[in-house]
Amino acid sequence: MVSTGWALPRVVVAAPASGHGKTTVATGLLGALRRRGLTVSPHKVGPDYIDPGYHGLAAGRPGRNLDPWLVGPERVAPLLRHGASVPTPADVAVIEGVMGLHDGAVGRRGYASTAHVATLVDAPVLLVLDTTAQGRSAAALVLGMRAFDERVRVGGVILNRVGSPRHETLLRDALAEVGVPVLGAVSRSVEVAAPSRHLGLVPVAERAPESLAVVAALADLVAATVDLDAVLDLARSAPPLTAPAWDPVAAVGGPASTAAVGGPPGTVAVGGPASTGGPTVAVAAGAAFTFSYAETAELLAAAGATVAPFDPLRDPGLPAGTRAVVIGGGFPEAHADALAGNAALRAELAAFDGPVVAECAGLLYLGRSLDGAPMCGRLDLTARMTGRLTLGYREAVAAADSPVTRAGERVRGHEFHRTVTDPGHGDTPAWRFDGAAHGFVDGRVHASYLHVHWAGRPHAARRLVQACR
């Protein structure tokens, strides 16, 4: 593992609350800095899968998550360093926060908040402020955000949704009084919006041409309204990053000479030279299954697998030689008819006798039906959309042995869905949390609503690859 200090310029884009424009500014910054010829590394605080898709499109490399709850605080800086190093070293890292600056896991005093991550990676904060209906009071708000935790350095502000030149002048003068520089001002008349859905923005993979246009427009907006040189100066004020880079090979317990990631053009081999010697693990991708952390494929490759993406919307069968299947989260409810129409793949998955790991969307896809549309039928359950959002961090205990768990193992994860299954769990559940059973372990299938980050439990990748053999 690399252990010398790295003077990686980095900045955290935060806000007093959700809805102030963090994603607009972070995505636009990534795109604008990349246009300058810089290699930019995109990161997101928290478990969210959708924003990193936009970040990745703007940066030209995978967006990665930094979440102390899911991976442990000791891995956050190493994961930042790893992400900023792969596939090439970055010139600057942009880290988008989550919710308000000091909002984290409920009842944990800011644990897993943007402020917490900013301290873990020792990065200055660029505060995005929605100035709608605010004048001089904006300075008091910024002053309070800066003073609330003296370990967090608010190095500048970007004013968002400014009403007029006079409004901007008033705000700049007020912030000058408290000594916080204004690094940009965005008028409310030039906002760029990406279409949203019941769980947030529509993922990039579902609307690629439109997403490209949105990202380009955000880069234009930030380039025209933000002092990029001042932002870079702020990022360069971060001290050297001394944490060693996270290493997927070390995380799974040793080198694997057969590790490879296969797939369409642009897919990066992350665990070693391309090879077909290791067992093939098929990983669901495409517009219906967009929720995946980049480290999952890296860990599988490091454990000796050949990782082969497949698209349940389009591919008539699993990749040749598939020995195990991973089906992550996404929006199958938005593609139920198309998934139902791929009867050949559904039948193959129903009969597949290798290990299968499914999270959230994968759980729904393995059931008998989703909102009446036939799914794989591998699990005896039905699923339907509801009007209720289930969202939050969870502390779970594995209820049974499976290809990726051992009974009694403790795991931290998160839920994020508006669907329910009937029944809610199998005779052998996958997890127990909040005083109840959840999910299904059925033969070699492990399926539940719980999302986990395998960087926080890398032995899952090793176990799955061993189960293939």
- Catalytic residue set: 360
User: For residue 256, what are its two tokens?
Assistant: 């694997």
Dump strand ranges (E) for 278-381.
280-284, 306-310, 322-327, 356-359, 369-370, 373-374
Cα–chain-centroid distance for residue 320? 29
Dump strand ranges (E) for 328-435.
356-359, 369-370, 373-374, 382-398, 410-422, 431-433
Contact 321, 281 (CB under 8 A): no
* Run of H or E residues at 28: helix 22-35
**Residue 187 β-bridge partners:** 162
- Using the Cα atoms of residue 321, residue 327, residue 330 and residue 334 in order, give the sign of their dihedral: positive
DSSP line for 41-65: EEEEESS-SHHHHHHHHHHTS--EE
Contact 441, 428 (CB under 8 A): yes
CA pair distance 364, 8, nearest whole angstrom: 41
User: For residue 346, what are its two tokens?
Assistant: 């559904």
CA pair distance 274, 288, nearest whole angstrom: 27
Q: For strand 260-261 and strand 306-310, is the pairing parallel, antiparallel, or unpaired?
A: parallel
Q: For strand 196-197 and strand 200-201, is the pairing parallel, antiparallel, or unpaired?
A: antiparallel
CA pair distance 341, 338, nearest whole angstrom: 5
CA pair distance 202, 226, nearest whole angstrom: 26
Provide the H-helix boundaries in 237-354: 248-251, 294-302, 336-341, 343-351
What CA–CA distances, in Å, run from 209 to 195, 214, 344, 394?
Answer: 13, 9, 29, 36
